[in-house]
Copies of this chain bind each other. A is one copy, B any other.
Amino acid sequence: MPVQELPPLPSNAGEIDEETWVWTQIKAEAQRGAKSEPALASYLYSTIVSHSSLSRSLSFHLGNKLCSSTLLYDLFLNTFSSDSSLRSTTVADLRAARICDPACLSSHCLLNYKGFLTLQAHRVAHKLWIQNRKPISLALHSRVSDVFSVDIHPAARIGKGVLLEHATGLVIGETAVVGNNVSILHHVTLEGTGNVGGNRHPKIGDGVLIGAGAMVLGHVKIWEGVKIGAGSVVLIDMPPWTTAMGNPVRLVGGKEQSKRFCPWSSVEDDTVVLNCRVCIIPLLTEHRISWIVSVIVLEGRVASLVYLMHVGVELNVLQDLDLLICWPRGLSYMDRMPNV
């Protein structure tokens, strides 16, 4: 489920910072757990209770999961200790996991959530990558892929409060960017189409939800609030607050979604943006762009149903067209026919 809002800090939070508060909660939970389950006591003590901070506990636990030596513990601890923004991101990720699953104990997230642990390891690998320590960054990435079956390229940029649910099989490419408060299920792929080099991976906006097994491929933009259904294959930009389903994907969305459309800042009056499978044409009123929608041209053929529209037509009836042709007053239809 999507991460929609973060709960407030407790009322006494004014005196202590959030990281300390979360750590206190986790430690108390682990102490209760050790009492109720003696078989776990030694594990909980060494992993949580014996440590003085969240960073130390997380570094120890990740180091253990990924490698039995102390090399990784030191690497993680140095990285977390030297970067307070990284620590606050970790806390935001913990809270995202907790919001998603109200029954989730924070110590359970820290100990057992593969998606949370993978993400923290990635954040360290990413920091090493931008410090140009690429060999060790790639070695850490490889180890995470072996242990957790999650493959996030160290160069990928991922926002705060992100939830990787189940996580197994997730693949995120080198030039992908993921926004804040995004939820990504297992088996999701954010990768290239194999046809281009350079900046070739998706950009995912804030608050997006990507269902299990969905694939977003190529240098496409998924705008804020988009929901992508399980198993969808997305090769096109998705406007804000829309929903995509199916393979090949179709836009799905009733009036509720269409009301939430908002202007697309990068498209100017009278712009026509085309590629081989998608036709995006601005619908013009007298003086401004009123709306834009991505419409799939199925498999390169000329659409069997072409809807020609003037300004002011309701957009929420257009979702099942193969091709949408909109044009401003004063131009003829043929001037604008895309070359598909």
Interface flags, A3-35, vs B, CB<8A=1, else 0: 000000000000000000000000000000100
Residues of chain B lying within 8 A (CB to CB) of residue A111? 138-139, 142
How many chain copies?
3
Q: Which of A209-217, A258-266, A325-333 contacts B (4 or more CB under 8 A)?
A: A209-217
Residues of chain B lying within 8 A (CB to CB) of residue A39? 71, 75, 136
Contact B169–A187 (Cβ < 8 Å): yes
Report the count of interface residues on A (CB-CB < 8 A).
Answer: 68
Asked whether A129 is an interface residue with its Cβ less than 8 Å from the other chain, the reply is: no
Contact A2–B194 (Cβ < 8 Å): yes
Asked whether A186 is an interface residue with its Cβ less than 8 Å from the other chain, the reply is: yes
Q: Closest Cβ of chain B: how far from A285's Cβ, in Å?
A: 26
From 174 to 202 in chain A, residues with beta carbon under 8 angstroms from any chain B beta carbon are: 183, 185-187, 189, 191-192, 194-195, 197
Query: Which of A43, A65, A213, A217 has its CB near the most chain B CB atoms (within 10 A)?
Result: A213
Answer whether A141 and B112 are a contact pair too, CB < 8 Å, given A211-B194, A245-B299: yes
Asked whether A274 is an interface residue with its Cβ less than 8 Å from the other chain, the reply is: no
Contact B246–A299 (Cβ < 8 Å): yes
Residues of chain B lying within 8 A (CB to CB) of residue A102? 197
Q: What 7 pairs between A and B have smallest CB-CB spacing?
A: A112-B142, A1-B194, A231-B233, A149-B149, A33-B135, A252-B299, A247-B247
